[in-house]
Amino acid sequence: MALAIMSSGGDAPGMNPAIKKFVDYAFKMGERPYLIYDGLEGLIDNKIQEASHHDVAGIVHRGGTIIRSSRSKRFFEYEYRLKAYNNLKEHGIAGLIVLGGDGSFRAMEKFSSEFALNFVGIPSTIDNDIYGTEYCLGVDTALNVIRDALDKIRDTASSFNRAFLVEVMGRNCGYLTIVSAMVSGAEVCVIPELEFDYEKEGERLRKEVESGRNYILAVVSEGAKQTSQVHTWLQESVGLETRVSILGHIQRGGNPTVRDRMMAFDFTITAVNHLLSHHNSNKMVAYQKGEFKLKEIKEVVSNRYELPQRFLDAVNFLD
């Protein structure tokens, strides 16, 4: 059987370990592995190549994805989805693994509803915002990048009577922000899921400053869209000169951590095994309570991920 793997949407650390394990494990199972380059755009343009061990040698430690990725407006048009499907048939590909996030899975749900596609998704996004799974590839690496940045910023903050505001990625999900705030000992955390009480928190921080606090570390989610507001509030209401750091795409880079490499292996083996034992699958591999399970892709894209209550509660324990 010919199997293929592709990346779609934003890159995430852990994609390369997943790609290597896919090729190595496919050969071990006696199957022919293919690599699809440039994501959905490459699927349309037939950038599909049979893979060898040489293609994936020495990539486990690398961030990003060696087969590159893309977002595709063309894929929303039926004629291009048909072209993509015909490309898979041309190569005799009977099973497809997609490393991606919410947008990628929505595209594949549409694709698999129109054609006889044997598909399994592996949740791969630093945002950790995919319904049905507790973990997505890339999250641990991103958290360590953020943690390292926050630790260094705190070193500088503690040397001056200043507040430092750090904006963290995550789209409309506050997972990266709240976890980073918890592990860095931040005094302020602003996420899209909770309303931030400026008056109450301002009163608390002013008292702490009067009692000797000489710096504040604030972590703000990009999805909250309140970076400028928090900056003004820290300077004018709390009374500390404030510097802003937007970490940006640095959070997507870096060598995958041990956890992301191990999770990539387990996600991929689960996906390949499922493709080999099913012939009309539209699933996503989910990690729940320490186990890897398969979820219907329709269920995944029809629901919205919600932060665990323990993380929402944790915002109240930062002070």
User: Of 29-33, 87-91, 117-121, 314-318, which gets the smallest average pLDDT?
Assistant: 314-318
- Is 129 an annotated catalytic residue? no
CA distance 212 to 209: 5
pLDDT at 319: 62
CA distance 285 to 93: 20
pLDDT at 161: 83
CA distance 73 to 82: 14
Neighbour order of strands in the sheet with 282-288: 48-50, 32-36, 2-7, 93-100, 119-123, 282-288, 291-296
Q: Where in the chain is the domain with CATH 3.40.50.460?
A: 140-252
pLDDT in tens, 223-269: 999 999 999 999 999 999 999 999 999 999 999 999 999 999 999 99
pLDDT at 78: 97
pLDDT at 279: 84
**How many residues comprise the chain?**
319
Q: What does residue 286 show for φ and ψ, rounded to 5 degrees?
A: -120, 145
Q: What percent of the chain has pLDDT over 70?
A: 100
Does pLDDT of 25 surpass 90?
Answer: yes
pTM for the predicted model, two decimal places: 0.95
Is residue 141 very low, low, confident or very high in pLDDT (cuts 50, 70, 90)?
A: very high
Mean pLDDT in residue range 294-303: 96
Element (H, E) at 35: strand 32-36
The catalytic position among 102, 127, 129, 260 is 127
CATH topology for the 2-138+256-302 domain: Rossmann fold (3.40.50)
Closest to 222 measured CA to CA, from 183, 275, 180, 166? 166
User: What is the number of other CB atoms lying within 10 angstroms of the CB of residue 212?
Assistant: 6
CA distance 297 to 103: 12
Q: How many angstroms separate the most distant Cα atoms in the chain?
A: 72
Mean pLDDT in residue range 85-109: 96
CATH topology for the 140-252 domain: Rossmann fold (3.40.50)
Q: Where in the chain is the domain with CATH 3.40.50.450?
A: 2-138+256-302
